[in-house]
């Protein structure tokens, strides 16, 4: 009986010892894990915590396993918090939104900088729209800057134009060479799916040529080049484009060649060649007719000779047949 109680007490002591050792090992392992985690992510967590960026330690560990650069996410979250943007986990610029945009191969820092610039300029631009613009391949930060500070576009584009001028002809045939400058502002509402600068340049160039072509004389355009600008602006060339046209200014205009006179001269020369060709055709027809008449005269002469040759034969046949009679004496 004494041995049984002693053995039972010994088993209780061993069980408690094992439990204590297990708890001690678990505490050591947990401490090592916490030490490693804090060693790797502690500085970022403290940086975010002291900046009010609301980035948890579990989020940092999750970024490591999802192969997300935590430094980029933390810096973006800190910038958003310091700029006074909404970083609420439900509707604001949350850590999950930033991670999702990073995993979609978006430029997180560019998007945050664009939102901050738009917020400072009083432009309505939320994270979802900025991320969509970035994923569409557009530079969202440059778009915001262009929306704040309008961009000047040369028309025609010097990179694709040989002489750098648009050539248009007025109704009197005088050529005008024009160079225009278009001031545009980014339209963030139409940035996704909207036409780019090339479309704006093409539309403006077409309208300038049409405006000059509808003028009675080139002198009207030279006297008031603003007529071109006003006419072009009325046509709404910025529809379905990523830009809003602020102004169109005629930077340079000069008189070119007298295209009308040259065309009339070319037409007159063509008419002369046509008349010469027609006269040559008539002369050739007359010569051909003359040759035909000569051939007919020769044919008639031949027929006459043949007819004259038949007379002696007929007379001979008449003698043989005795058809000739001596005249009756009176």
* 229 Cβ contact list (under 8 Å, min separation 6): 180, 247, 248, 249, 250
* 241 Cβ contact list (under 8 Å, min separation 6): 187, 190, 194, 195, 196, 199, 200
Confidence of residue 2 (pLDDT cuts 50, 70, 90): very low
Residue, of 15 and 58, whose pLDDT is higher? 58
| Whole-angstrom distance, CA of residue 329 vs CA of residue 210 | 110
Confidence of residue 110 (pLDDT cuts 50, 70, 90): very high
Residue, of 26 and 295, whose pLDDT is higher? 295
Cα torsion angle, 54, 60, 61, 66, sign? positive
Domain that holds residue 98: 2-146
* 255 Cβ contact list (under 8 Å, min separation 6): 174, 175, 176, 177, 218, 222
- Does residue 266 belong to any structural domain of this protein? no
Which whole number is the average pLDDT over 210-215? 86
Please report the pLDDT score of residue 330 as a whole number: 45
Which whole number is the average pLDDT over 83-95? 81
If asked whether residues 207 and 179 sit together in one domain, one would say yes
- Give the residue from 79, 82, 83, 84 showing the smallest Cα distance to 98: 79
Please report the pLDDT score of residue 3 as a whole number: 44
| Whole-angstrom distance, CA of residue 80 vs CA of residue 95 | 11
Tally of structural domains, the chain: 2
Contact (CB, 8 A) for 185 and 262: no
If asked whether residues 140 and 10 sit together in one domain, one would say yes
Please report the pLDDT score of residue 196 as a whole number: 80
If asked whether residues 98 and 209 sit together in one domain, one would say no
36-50, 195-209, 294-308: range with lowest mean pLDDT: 36-50
Reduced 3-state DSSP string for the chain: CHHHHHHHHHHHHHHHHHHHHHHHHHHHHHHHHHHHHHHHHHHHHHHHHHHCCCCCHHHHHHHHHCCCCHHHHHHHHHHHHHCCCCCCCCCCCCHHHHHHHHHCCCCHHHHHHHHHHHHHHCCCCCHHHHHHHHHCCCCHHHHHHHHHCCEEEEECCCCCCCCCCEEEECCCCEEEEEEEEEEEEECHHHCCCCECHHHHHHHHHHHHHHHHHCCCCHHHHHHCCHHHHHHHHCCCCCCCECEEEEEEEEEEEEEEEEHHHHHHHHHHHHHHHHHHHHHHHHHHHHHHHHHHHHHHHHHHHHHHHHHHHHHHHHHHHHHHHCCCCCCCCC
Does residue 107 surpass a pLDDT of 60? yes
Please report the pLDDT score of residue 248 as a whole number: 86
If asked whether residues 224 and 131 sit together in one domain, one would say no
| Whole-angstrom distance, CA of residue 187 vs CA of residue 190 | 6
Does residue 104 surpass a pLDDT of 50? yes
Name the residue with tokens 């631009």: 125
- Does residue 308 belong to any structural domain of this protein? no
- Does residue 183 belong to any structural domain of this protein? yes
| Whole-angstrom distance, CA of residue 292 vs CA of residue 285 | 10
**Of 146, 162, 186, which residue is a domain's last?**
146
Please report the pLDDT score of residue 5 as a whole number: 43
The DSSP bridge partners found for residue 245 are: 184
- Does residue 54 belong to any structural domain of this protein? yes
Instruction: Give the pTM.
Output: 0.60
Which whole number is the average pLDDT over 295-316? 83
Does residue 37 surpass a pLDDT of 70? no
| Whole-angstrom distance, CA of residue 114 vs CA of residue 72 | 16
Please report the pLDDT score of residue 217 as a whole number: 86
If asked whether residues 86 and 140 sit together in one domain, one would say yes
Which whole number is the average pLDDT over 122-143? 87
pLDDT tens, 309-328?
A: 877 877 777 777 776 665 55
If asked whether residues 39 and 135 sit together in one domain, one would say yes
- Does residue 283 belong to any structural domain of this protein? no
Please report the pLDDT score of residue 324 as a whole number: 61
If asked whether residues 162 and 175 sit together in one domain, one would say yes
If asked whether residues 57 and 123 sit together in one domain, one would say yes
**Of 261, 278, 299, which residue is a domain's last?**
261
- Share above pLDDT 70 across residues of the chain, in percent, rounded to a whole number: 88
Does residue 50 surpass a pLDDT of 70? yes
Please report the pLDDT score of residue 113 as a whole number: 92
- Does residue 60 belong to any structural domain of this protein? yes
CATH classification at residue 202: 3.30.479.30
Residue, of 296 and 65, whose pLDDT is higher? 296
- Does residue 195 belong to any structural domain of this protein? yes
Does residue 10 surpass a pLDDT of 50? no
- Does residue 296 belong to any structural domain of this protein? no
pLDDT tens, 170-193?
A: 888 888 898 888 888 888 877 777
If asked whether residues 66 and 133 sit together in one domain, one would say yes
**Average pLDDT in the chain:** 80
If asked whether residues 155 and 210 sit together in one domain, one would say yes
Confidence of residue 41 (pLDDT cuts 50, 70, 90): low
Confidence of residue 14 (pLDDT cuts 50, 70, 90): low
């Amino acid at each position: 009986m004494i041995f049984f109680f002693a053995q039972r007490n010994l088993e209780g002591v061993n069980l408690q010892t094992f439990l204590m050792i297990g708890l001690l090992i678990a505490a050591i392992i947990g401490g090592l894990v916490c030490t490693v985690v804090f060693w790797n992510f502690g500085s970022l967590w403290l940086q975010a915590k002291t900046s009010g960026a609301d980035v948890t330690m579990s989020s940092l560990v999750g970024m490591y396993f999802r192969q997300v650069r935590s430094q980029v996410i933390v810096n973006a979250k800190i910038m958003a918090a310091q700029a006074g943007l909404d970083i609420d986990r439900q509707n604001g610029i949350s850590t999950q939104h930033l991670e999702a945009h990073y995993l979609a191969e978006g430029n997180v820092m560019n998007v945050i900088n664009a939102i901050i610039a738009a917020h400072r300029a009083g432009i309505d631009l939320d994270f979802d729209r900025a991320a969509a613009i970035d994923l569409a391949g557009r530079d969202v930060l440059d778009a915001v800057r262009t929306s704040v500070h309008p961009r000047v576009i040369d028309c025609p584009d010097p990179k694709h134009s040989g002489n750098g001028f648009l050539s248009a002809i007025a109704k009197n045939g005088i050529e005008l060479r024009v160079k225009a400058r278009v001031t545009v502002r980014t339209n963030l509402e139409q940035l996704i799916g909207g036409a780019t600068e090339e479309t704006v340049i093409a539309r403006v160039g077409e309208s300038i040529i049409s405006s000059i072509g509808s003028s009675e004389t080139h002198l009207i355009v030279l006297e008031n080049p603003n007529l071109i600008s006003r006419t072009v602006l009325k046509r709404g060339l910025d529809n379905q484009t990523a830009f809003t046209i602020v102004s169109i200014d005629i930077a340079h205009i000069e008189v070119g060649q007298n295209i009308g006179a040259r065309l009339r001269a070319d037409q007159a020369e063509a008419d002369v060649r046509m008349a010469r060709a027609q006269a040559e055709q008539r002369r050739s027809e007359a010569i051909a007719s003359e040759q035909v008449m000569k051939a007919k005269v020769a044919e008639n002469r031949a027929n006459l000779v043949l007819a004259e040759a038949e007379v002696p034969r007929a007379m001979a046949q008449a003698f043989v047949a005795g058809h000739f009679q001596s005249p009756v004496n009176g």
